[in-house]
Structure 1
Amino acid sequence: MSDITSSLIVDFTSAVPETNRSKPPVERLLAGNPEQVARNYFSDSTGRFFAGIWESTPGKWRVKYSENEFCYITRGRVRIEHESGRGWTFSAGASFVIPAGFSGVWEVLEPTAKLYVIYEPA
């Protein structure tokens, strides 16, 4: 018999998320002192699919993605630069996908919040 709660809708307005406060690792930090909060509202049973809300104060750090991530910016502004030098700036209302294998820099230009959906390939 399966646990019925594992098949119910997860409503971000009423669910109690798993909350994690962090800062980028010092060896990846390029500027600022960004403080981040991730509120993970959903993780599937495989531990490879996640959804939640992430927030950060301004700062700049190197990233390397092993996961695929869909982002929807709800507040603020960010600049993301690929290691090749190509860059994108996103503000509230923008949505985009960062594919696994992306390597570059995240820069939070003003306090930012995003909805995220992450899939970590096997």
Structure 2
Amino acid sequence: MNVEIITEFGLGVGESVTPDWGDDASPGWEETEWRAFGSSDQGFFGGGWEGEPGTLRCDPYPYDEVCIMISGRVALIDLDGNRREFGSGQAFFVPKEFRGTWETIEPSKKFFVALPGQSSAASS
């Protein structure tokens, strides 16, 4: 294998994408994805993400996602009110079946891999 096929990813690396979540996002919701590899058409994509405090209603979550927190703090709250918080250095997986709210508690950064699959209607 050639090292040229290796892809670096992270904050500021790749295509800057700001998803439009419409009314599902709280007023002032701000986030940027840095998509460095893959695409929705390929069935996966990933890179770096940064977001400001706010909430996003996920009914359901738009894709399977692996998250590795670099800094900040986020929470996922299901429809029954159960809450899980994650901070710097923690990694977690959110299945696209998750229904609830993503809350960015403080300015946060993460690495991510999204696995939309064949049935995803996620926007890009």
TM-score normalised to structure 1 length: 0.81
Give CA deviations for 1:38-69 in whole Å, capped at 9, x if unaligned.
00000159521111111101111201224210
C-alpha contact 1:81 1:87 (8 A) present in aligned 2: yes
Give CA deviations for 1:62-107 in whole Å, capped at 9, x if unaligned.
0122421000010100111011221101110110000121110011
Q: Relative to structure 1, is the Cα distance of residues 66 and 107 closer, same or farther in structure 2, using a 3 angstrom cutoff?
A: closer
Larger radius of gyration: 1
Which stretches in structure 2 are left out of the alignment for 5+ residues? 119-124
Q: Relative to structure 1, is the Cα distance of residues 45 and 71 closer, same or farther in structure 2, using a 3 angstrom cutoff?
A: closer
The count of aligned residue pairs is 115
Which stretches in structure 1 are left out of the alignment for 5+ residues? none
- Residue 36 of structure 2 aligns to which amino acid in structure 1? Y
CA RMSD of aligned residues (A): 2.5
Q: CA deviation at 1:29?
A: 2.9
Equivalent residue for 1:33, pick from 28, 31, 34: 28
Greater Cα offset, 98-107 or 61-70: 61-70
Same amino acid, percent of matched pairs:
30
Q: Which residue does the alignment assign to 1:77?
A: 73
Q: Which residue does the alignment assign to 1:57?
A: 52
Q: Relative to structure 1, is the Cα distance of residues 53 and 66 closer, same or farther in structure 2, using a 3 angstrom cutoff?
A: same
Q: Relative to structure 1, is the Cα distance of residues 21 and 86 closer, same or farther in structure 2, using a 3 angstrom cutoff?
A: same
**1:48 is the counterpart of 2:43:** yes
Q: Which residue does the alignment assign to 1:91?
A: 87
Q: Which residue does the alignment assign to 1:10?
A: 7
- Residue 9 of structure 2 aligns to which amino acid in structure 1? F
